[in-house]
Amino acid sequence: MAHCSRLATVLDQEMIEVTRQVRICSRITRDEDLPRKTGQDVALELGCRYLLRYVMSHQVGEFTGGSAVKHWVTPTPVCTGGDGSVAVSPQPRRQPVACNAAGPGKDPVDTGPPLGRLGDGIEYILPDGFPREAVVGGWEMEVQ
């Protein structure tokens, strides 16, 4: 199971770069140098897939009403219990337990996608957070 997250990332990278013809920025690209995009642009390049904001157990419920702060999100589903290389956390022993799904067409402004700075995942940055209406279903989905 540990390798399914890496496979999902590789398939997403191929879909974004080859099928959608969108350049994924280098992991050393500064946030302010990433291309600015509308939520609609991101929705089109992802084929209207959701963006996922993974949360730790102490964060469950924290973002169901939206958020006005910067968030890093990904289109890639990850497995818990992996090697931790896809999504890098400031608390590496903690695994995400749930995620919020946000409809990218509703997000105000996105930047990206870069490869994750310290991990191997594909990230989009929501510099101004996301509105409550963008949270699909209004709650988190459990990650297993």
Beta bridge partners, 140, equal none
Beta bridge partners, 99, equal 54, 141
Contact between 52 and 101 under an 8 Å Cβ cutoff? The reply is yes
Half-sphere exposure of 34 (CA within 13 A, CB side): 27
**Three-class SS state of 115:** strand
Q: What's the predicted TM-score (pTM) here? A: 0.81
What's the number of domains the chain is made of? 1
**pLDDT tens track for 92-137:** 556 677 788 887 665 556 677 777 666 668 888 888 888 888 888 8
Q: Which H helix or E strand runs over 42?
A: helix 39-45
**pLDDT tens track for 17-70:** 898 899 988 888 888 888 888 888 888 888 888 888 888 888 899 999 989 998
- In eight-state DSSP terms, residue 25 is B
Amino acid (one-letter) located at 80: T
- Full residue range of the structural domain in which residue 77 is found: 4-142
* Degrees to nearest 5, angle at CA 117 with 111 and 119: 120
